[in-house]
């Protein structure tokens, strides 16, 4: 078997780092050995040769004998310093740090190009599911229509418990925390930031757009109300937090992370608990679906290992869409069919909607179903309010040219009386 | 964008060939042009420049200006002559001909190695689902446990209609033929040969075994009886034709194509109609699932196109398992938990079973559920009888060392009376 010999400098010895260490001890066919491991707290007892450990990052980054840095630490800022230094020093890098990658994508692209080094990060999106590799290698022929995924296991676990066991959001979150599927500070997950980082990475590999994560449309699940669950249940829907990239016309893509109603005929309907799943739509292949564990020790280790294996053959992402003559940019010039629930009308401006198709009011909660322009939605004060819940309807993305066909009815007469 | 320029000699101009021709006209980024198209019947009217067509295969195979042969003809024997000549002449090849590939794998491997040429055939297994590429690139780290797939769309369409619309096998087959999901001569599909060819290809890419297809354990679906459908329905199972490769111990793999009961918790349960789906189990990634269209004009074109795109970068399958120090071979030394239905006991030898756990008899049909050793099953006259139906139980593969734990009870006393 061919392939070059890899000598690894490992940053971080948490569950994934230790997993990689153990597997590399066994998987001799990979021809990869760990030369040094950089850790933060030297005092801890660790199940590996003590001579491997150091707290001196430079000892790894400046060692010419090390040709691969595997970065598995939590802190995104420290991670960026490590990764960018390594790339500059001519070392290839494997990282699982989605926050770092999403926030520094343009810099990381430039560093790879300048120094001819390769940065792989399959573990950063959907854990063990080889979504980035497939987008790079297999869906690179200009025919991609959309990609829609459940990319955050914590929120999917919570949403599954809410739907299947009738738990309120708070109780479902607590259970997720107890079982280790959510952090003690769950904000990054439940408010959508983690999914947003993954969306940003997918956007680069689907349409070659390197966007700032927080410039994109997103909302998490922490504001979901029991009324929303009832609405979903009576219609046979499930609520999922969906990350979506969709071509909306020549050179334009929609990119969003939003709660979404999913019907039973969607492959996402059956993605339960901590699992992830991604639907890829293309002109030729029609609909494809990739499914697996999105996080956790072994799934993450699996993706990191596959990246290490690929680097034996000097594999690098080509980012072909980024260098393609047809450039894409993110558009907010499209419409969404949405369900919105709230406590009273003072919280939501009805005039933001192009049309309202359904309205329901009880003492407990009010909701409407209607169509809204995305620019208007992103500017609306109420959109990010924790008292307001917004869920995209199934097939809720509407291209601008399609909306003209719909008769646009500003707040219909029958409903008028209630609103004033 | 980099990558070499491809000049293609195309064999066959059926629906896929024409699709590829059309897409290449549009997808300029692929830098691939078709120089000549070899067809059998020059008289037919075709939607392409008439100067492209020839009936002279040598004109393509001996043209030094052509560096890639795309082979899309039906006949497996002709296809092998074309493909082997092309590889010998220093040309890379893309083929979708699963029968040809499965039957000639050792030769095709040798030709590639000897002449340094590359043969890609993603379209041959599960159409648009990038299963071979993922096995090659992503699951190459010795940690694969099993792969189980619905790899034949025709039979899955028939089984779906039988389960969902209560159709008898014959009527479901007729409907599949009317809708173009089954050939007028359906033998290759319904008797399992097509799935068997795909299994053979998967076996090479999962465990590096190049086996003769017909040496493997297989049975199709044409013998299924309404009683079987009832048995499945009352237990909440579906019947699927499953191709399966599973590690059974050091250096040993089971490989089989058999009808199988599937429970709702399996991802295969939801694979309906003409779709395909593959579950990949590995130590680290746990269970992964790939789903999409397995056949037809566009899905096949999609896979062929991706192979063409990969050849710009001189991609070739590494068949790493084939060259790995740990060699695998196919074993028949394991047990299966099966359901078997038949018209009367003269058709099935009860003594072939290690144990029989359930037995049911009506005037119409009899069935049993029991455990049988695979060597015994493959030697049994009744196994391939069209009057006998055999369906593997969910999780029905049992390793030899596991069976010892089960108390082996030859035909139990209570049932004895009925048998004699």
Instruction: Report how far residue A13's alpha carbon sits from residue B287's, in angstroms, rounded to the nearest whole number.
Output: 25
Give yes or no for residue A381 having a pLDDT over 60.
Answer: yes
Smallest CA–CA distance from A294 into chain B, residue: B285
pLDDT at res. B176: 92
Instruction: Report how far residue A281's alpha carbon sits from residue A148's, in angstroms, rounded to the nearest whole number.
Output: 9
pLDDT at res. A370: 95
Smallest CA–CA distance from B321 into chain A, residue: A1
Smallest CA–CA distance from B32 into chain A, residue: A141
pLDDT at res. A419: 47
Residues of B within 8 A of A164 (CB-CB) are: none
Instruction: Report how far residue A159's alpha carbon sits from residue A359's, in angstroms, rounded to the nearest whole number.
Output: 24
Residue A17 Cα, gap to closest chain B Cα (Å): 14
Residue B1 Cα, gap to closest chain A Cα (Å): 6
pLDDT digits (tens, 9 = 90+) for B229-240: 999 999 999 999
pLDDT at res. B419: 47
In chain B, count of helices (H) and strands (E)? 14, 17
Q: Who among A284, A299, A306 is closest to B302 (CB)?
A: A284
Confidence tier at A408 by pLDDT (50, 70, 90): very low
Confidence tier at A342 by pLDDT (50, 70, 90): very high
Calculate mean pLDDT across residues A259-270: 96
Q: Which residues of B151-186 are buried (b: 16+ CB within 10 A; e: fewer)?
A: bbbbbbbbbbbbbeeebebeebbbbbbeeebbeeeb
pLDDT digits (tens, 9 = 90+) for B185-235: 899 999 999 999 999 999 999 999 999 999 999 999 999 999 999 999 999
Q: Does A303 touch chain B (CB under 8 A)?
A: yes
Q: What percent of chain A has pLDDT over 70?
A: 94
Instruction: Report how far residue B54's alpha carbon sits from residue B71's, in angstroms, rounded to the nearest whole number.
Output: 14
Residue B323 Cα, gap to closest chain A Cα (Å): 6
Smallest CA–CA distance from B19 into chain A, residue: A284
Calculate mean pLDDT across residues A246-255: 93
Q: Does B327 touch chain A (CB under 8 A)?
A: no
Instruction: Report how far residue B122's alpha carbon sits from residue B130's, in angstroms, rounded to the nearest whole number.
Output: 7
Give yes or no for residue B417 having a pLDDT over 50.
Answer: no
Helix, strand, coil % (nearest 5) of chain B?
40, 25, 35
- More reliable by pLDDT, B147 or B284: B147
Confidence tier at B64 by pLDDT (50, 70, 90): very high
Give yes or no for residue A327 having a pLDDT over 70.
Answer: yes
Mean pLDDT, chain A, integer: 90
Give yes or no for residue B415 having a pLDDT over 70.
Answer: no
Q: Kindly state the tokens that stand for A73.
A: 């630490």
Ramachandran region, residue A83 (left: φ > 0; alpha: ψ -120 to 50; beta: rest): alpha
Instruction: Report how far residue B177's alpha carbon sits from residue A114's, in angstroms, rounded to the nearest whole number.
Output: 57
Question: Hey, are the CB atoms on A288 and B128 less than 8 Å from each other?
Answer: yes
Q: What is the largest CA-CA distance in chain A?
A: 77
Q: Which residues of B190-203 are buried (b: 16+ CB within 10 A; e: fewer)?
A: bbbbbbbbbbbbbb
pLDDT at res. A81: 98
List alpha helices for A169-295, DSSP H: 169-178, 187-190, 193-207, 226-235
Can you say whether the dihedral through the CA atoms of B76, B82, B88, B91 is positive or negative? Answer: negative
CB atoms near residue B15 (< 10 Å):
14
Task: Report the catalytic residues of A.
Answer: 198
| Listed residue (B305, B317, B401) closest to B34, CA to CA | B305
pLDDT at res. B339: 98
Instruction: Report how far residue B178's alpha carbon sits from residue B363's, in angstroms, rounded to the nearest whole number.
Output: 34
Instruction: Report how far residue B191's alpha carbon sits from residue B224's, in angstroms, rounded to the nearest whole number.
Output: 11
Complex prediction ipTM: 0.81
Q: How many A×B Cβ pairs under 8 Å?
A: 140
Confidence tier at A360 by pLDDT (50, 70, 90): very high
Residue A175 Cα, gap to closest chain B Cα (Å): 22
Contacts of residue A111, Cβ cutoff 8 Å, sequence gap at least 6:
A84, A87, A88, A117, A119
Q: Kindly state the tokens that stand for B286.
A: 């746990």
- Residue B250's Cβ-count burial label (10 Å; 0-12, 13-18, 19+) is exposed
pLDDT at res. A405: 45
Least confident of A76-85, B255-264, B293-302: B293-302
Smallest CA–CA distance from A31 into chain B, residue: B141
| Listed residue (A81, A72, A77, A70) closest to A118, CA to CA | A70
pLDDT at res. A43: 84
Q: Kindly state the tokens that stand for B279.
A: 């579950």
pLDDT digits (tens, 9 = 90+) for A193-239: 999 999 999 999 999 999 999 999 999 999 999 999 999 999 999 99
Instruction: Report how far residue B90's alpha carbon sits from residue B88's, in angstroms, rounded to the nearest whole number.
Output: 5
Asked whether B201 and B139 are in contact (CB, 8 A), the reply is no
Q: Does B1 touch chain A (CB under 8 A)?
A: yes
pLDDT digits (tens, 9 = 90+) for B121-137: 999 999 889 899 889 87
Least confident of B72-81, B267-276, B293-302: B293-302
pLDDT digits (tens, 9 = 90+) for B166-191: 999 999 999 999 988 888 889 999 99
Calculate mean pLDDT across residues A170-190: 91
Q: What is the DSSP letter of B256?
A: E
Chain B interface disruption, residue of A116, A268, A284, A325, most B CBs within 10 A: A284
Give yes or no for residue A417 having a pLDDT over 50.
Answer: no
- More reliable by pLDDT, A8 or A323: A8
CA B94 to the chain's CA centroid = 18
Among the options B98, B161, B198, B293, which is catalytic? B198
Give yes or no for residue A323 having a pLDDT over 70.
Answer: yes
Residue B105 Cα, gap to closest chain A Cα (Å): 20
Residue B124 Cα, gap to closest chain A Cα (Å): 14
Question: Hey, are the CB atoms on A129 and B299 less than 8 Å from each other?
Answer: no
Backbone φ and ψ of A70, nearest 5°: -110, 115
Give yes or no for residue B405 having a pLDDT over 60.
Answer: no
Q: Does A40 touch chain B (CB under 8 A)?
A: no
Q: Does A314 touch chain B (CB under 8 A)?
A: no
Contacts of residue A44, Cβ cutoff 8 Å, sequence gap at least 6:
none
Question: Hey, are the CB atoms on A138 and B138 less than 8 Å from each other?
Answer: no
Smallest CA–CA distance from B320 into chain A, residue: A1
Question: Hey, are the CB atoms on A1 and B323 less than 8 Å from each other?
Answer: yes
Contacts of residue B390, Cβ cutoff 8 Å, sequence gap at least 6:
B219, B258, B259, B338, B339, B340, B383
Residues of B within 8 A of A137 (CB-CB) are: 130, 133, 137, 306, 310
Q: Which residues of B45-62 are buried (b: 16+ CB within 10 A; e: fewer)?
A: ebebeeebbeeebeebbe
| Listed residue (A50, A56, A98) closest to A76, CA to CA | A98
Give yes or no for residue B35 having a pLDDT over 60.
Answer: yes
Can you say whether the dihedral through the CA atoms of A205, A207, A212, A213 is positive or negative? Answer: negative
Q: Who among B138, B288, B306 is closest to A133 (CB)?
A: B138
Q: Does A322 touch chain B (CB under 8 A)?
A: no
Confidence tier at A141 by pLDDT (50, 70, 90): low
H or E stretch at B99: helix B98-115
CB atoms near residue A154 (< 10 Å):
25
Q: Does A129 touch chain B (CB under 8 A)?
A: yes
- Chain B, residues 173-232, CB within 8 A of chain A, namely none
Asked whether B274 and B176 are in contact (CB, 8 A), the reply is no
Provide the whole-model pTM: 0.87
pLDDT at res. A8: 97
Q: Who among B29, B143, B291 is closest to A324 (CB)?
A: B29
Per the listing, tokens 């992370």 go with: A257
Instruction: Report how far residue B284's alpha carbon sits from residue A275's, in angstroms, rounded to the nearest whole number.
Output: 14
Give yes or no for residue A404 having a pLDDT over 60.
Answer: no
H or E stretch at B285: none
Residues of A within 8 A of B305 (CB-CB) are: 141, 284
Domains, chain A, ordered by start: 6-120 (3.40.50.720), 132-285+321-330 (3.30.360.10), 335-419 (3.30.70)
| Listed residue (A341, A351, A412) closest to A380, CA to CA | A351
Residue B298 Cα, gap to closest chain A Cα (Å): 5
pLDDT at res. A375: 97
Question: Hey, are the CB atoms on A288 and B287 less than 8 Å from each other?
Answer: no
Contacts of residue A113, Cβ cutoff 8 Å, sequence gap at least 6:
none
H or E stretch at A110: helix A98-115
Q: Does A1 touch chain B (CB under 8 A)?
A: yes
Q: Who among A138, A287, A291 is closest to B289 (CB)?
A: A291
Q: What percent of chain B has pLDDT over 90?
A: 72
Question: Hey, are the CB atoms on A138 and B129 less than 8 Å from each other?
Answer: no
Residue A289 Cα, gap to closest chain B Cα (Å): 5
pLDDT at res. B320: 78
C-alpha torsion angle, residues A233, A235, A238, A239 (rounded to 10)? -90
Residue B389 Cα, gap to closest chain A Cα (Å): 31
pLDDT at res. B404: 56
Confidence tier at A413 by pLDDT (50, 70, 90): very low
- More reliable by pLDDT, A148 or B287: A148
Chain B interface disruption, residue of A267, A285, A290, A311, most B CBs within 10 A: A285
Question: Hey, are the CB atoms on A288 and B288 less than 8 Å from each other?
Answer: no
Q: Kindly state the tokens that stand for B103.
A: 């039957």
Q: Who among B128, B285, B310 is closest to A128 (CB)?
A: B285
- More reliable by pLDDT, A345 or B55: B55
pLDDT at res. B249: 86
Asked whether B280 and B147 are in contact (CB, 8 A), the reply is yes
Q: Is B198 a catalytic residue?
A: yes
Give yes or no for residue B342 having a pLDDT over 60.
Answer: yes
Ramachandran region, residue A354 (left: φ > 0; alpha: ψ -120 to 50; beta: rest): alpha
Smallest CA–CA distance from B295 into chain A, residue: A285
Mean pLDDT, chain B, integer: 90
Q: Does B109 touch chain A (CB under 8 A)?
A: no
Asked whether A33 and A24 are in contact (CB, 8 A), the reply is yes
- Chain A, residues 235-294, CB within 8 A of chain B, namely 267, 270, 282-293
Per the listing, tokens 């009317």 go with: B178
- More reliable by pLDDT, B378 or B364: B378
pLDDT at res. A142: 61
Q: Does A298 touch chain B (CB under 8 A)?
A: yes
Instruction: Report how far residue A167's alpha carbon sits from residue B143's, in angstroms, rounded to the nearest whole number.
Output: 38
């Amino acid at each position: 078997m061919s392939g070059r010999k890899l000598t690894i400098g490992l940053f971080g010895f948490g569950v994934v780092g230790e997993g990689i260490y153990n597997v590399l001890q066994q998987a001799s066919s990979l021809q990869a050995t760990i030369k040094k491991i950089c850790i933060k707290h030297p005092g801890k007892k660790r199940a590996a040769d003590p001579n491997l450990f150091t707290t001196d990052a430079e000892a790894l980054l400046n060692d010419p004998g090390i040709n691969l840095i595997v970065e598995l630490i939590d802190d995104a800022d420290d991670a960026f310093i490590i990764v960018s230094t390594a790339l500059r020093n001519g070392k290839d890098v494997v990282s699982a740090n989605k926050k770092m990658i999403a926030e520094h994508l343009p810099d990381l692209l430039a560093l790879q190009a300048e120094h001819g080094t390769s940065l792989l990060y399959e573990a950063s999106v959907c854990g063990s599911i080889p979504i980035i590799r497939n987008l790079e290698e297999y869906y690179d022929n200009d025919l991609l229509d959309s990609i829609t995924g459940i990319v955050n296991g914590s929120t999917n676990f919570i949403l599954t418990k809410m739907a299947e066991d009738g738990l309120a959001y708070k109780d479902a979150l607590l259970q997720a925390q107890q079982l280790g599927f959510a952090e003690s500070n769950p904000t990054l997950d439940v408010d959508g930031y983690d999914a947003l980082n993954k969306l940003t990475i997918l956007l680069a590999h689907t349409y070659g757009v390197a966007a700032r994560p927080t410039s994109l449309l997103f909302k998490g699940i922490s504001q979901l109300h029991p009324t929303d669950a009832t609405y979903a249940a009576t219609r046979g829907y499930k609520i999922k937090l969906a990350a979506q990239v969709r071509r909306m016309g020549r050179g334009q893509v929609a990119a969003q992370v939003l709660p979404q109603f999913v019907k039973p005929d969607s492959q996402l309907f059956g993605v339960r608990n901590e699992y992830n799943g991604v639907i890829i739509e293309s002109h030729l292949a029609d609909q494809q679906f990739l499914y697996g564990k999105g996080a956790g020790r072994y799934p993450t280790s699996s993706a990191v290992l596959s990246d290490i294996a690929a680097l034996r053959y000097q594999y690098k992402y080509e980012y072909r869409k980024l260098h393609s003559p047809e450039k894409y940019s993110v558009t907010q010039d499209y419409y969404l069919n949405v369900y919105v629930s709230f406590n009273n009308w003072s919280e939501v401006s009805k005039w933001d909607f192009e049309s309202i198709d359904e309205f329901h009011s009880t003492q407990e909660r009010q909701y409407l179903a209607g169509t809204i322009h995305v620019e208007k939605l992103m500017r609306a004060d109420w959109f990010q309010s924790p008292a307001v819940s917004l869920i995209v309807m199934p097939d809720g993305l509407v291209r601008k040219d399609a909306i003209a066909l719909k008769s646009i009815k500003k707040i219909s007469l029958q409903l008028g009386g209630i609103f004033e």
